[in-house]
């Protein structure tokens, strides 16, 4: 059985849950932050144009990407979606995840598809003032929740392996940012990860489709 987090016991279901991944993640953040200590701090890292592609390139040059994604070059991947697309109004539907009978809508920061393997990587970027040594090894719950939603978008239903990465950036001062050396990672077929996040989704007021739920147990 999946470990139960303290915040789940006292979590309050929202009166009017919205059918998008960001709202679900914000609810998890709000409900869980009281048990995450004062060190629990993160926000959105927005990039523009060339900066986005440069950050992707730098990410794949890191030892972490080589060790965990078995890739050291952006040339192995097709960039399917960036946060710039999201800001332009592009989003994806996760019809197996529903709120008030409506499909969940998602707009990841990045979706990458491998050119040769039936594999996709979804990246969610966050910034924080917290030193890397004090960030939980398992990542923050809201990042897990948001990436879990993204893993079930209809657009990637035919992909054999979906890898989820919580990419962390250190907000040093003013508008200066630097990427951490390590990041949290999960996979769509990780049963414990699925059980944990699906339980949070149900607490939020969500419903999983009948054919999806047995696959998560």
pLDDT at position 83, please?
A: 84
Domains annotated for the chain, with CATH where assigned, are 19-36+46-204 (3.90.320)
State residue 173's pLDDT score: 66
Confidence at residue 22, expressed as pLDDT on a 0 to 100 scale: 94
pTM: 0.84
User: Residue 115, Cβ neighbours under 10 Å: how many?
Assistant: 10
Handedness of CA 20, 23, 27, 28 (dihedral sign): positive
- In the structure encoding, which two tokens stand for residue 186, read together? 């999960």
CA–CA dist 142, 155 (Å, integer): 22
The pLDDT of residue 58 is 77
Partnered with residue 82 across adjacent β-strands are 110
List the chain residues with pLDDT less than 50.
1, 35-41, 45-50, 214, 217
């Amino acid at each position: 059985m999946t470990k139960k987090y303290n915040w789940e016991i006292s979590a309050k279901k929202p009166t009017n849950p919205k059918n998008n991944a960001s709202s679900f993640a914000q609810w998890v953040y709000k409900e869980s932050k009281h048990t995450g200590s004062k060190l629990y701090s993160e926000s959105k890292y927005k990039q523009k144009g060339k900066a986005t592609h440069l950050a992707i390139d730098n990410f794949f040059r890191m030892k972490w990407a080589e060790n965990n994604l078995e890739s050291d070059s952006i040339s192995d991947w097709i960039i399917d979606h960036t946060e710039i697309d999201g800001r332009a109004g592009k989003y994806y539907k996760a019809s197996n995840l529903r709120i008030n009978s409506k499909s969940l809508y998602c707009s990841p920061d990045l979706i990458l598809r491998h050119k040769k393997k039936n594999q996709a990587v979804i990246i969610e970027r966050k910034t924080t003032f917290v030193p890397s040594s004090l960030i939980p090894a398992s990542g923050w719950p809201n990042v897990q929740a948001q990436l879990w939603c993204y893993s079930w978008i209809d657009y990637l239903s035919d992909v054999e392996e979906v890898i989820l990465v919580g990419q962390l950036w250190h907000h040093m001062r003013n508008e200066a940012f630097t990427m951490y050396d390590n990041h949290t990672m999960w996979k769509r077929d990780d049963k414990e990860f699925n059980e944990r996040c699906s339980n949070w989704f149900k607490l939020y007021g969500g419903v999983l489709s009948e054919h999806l739920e047995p696959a998560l147990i």
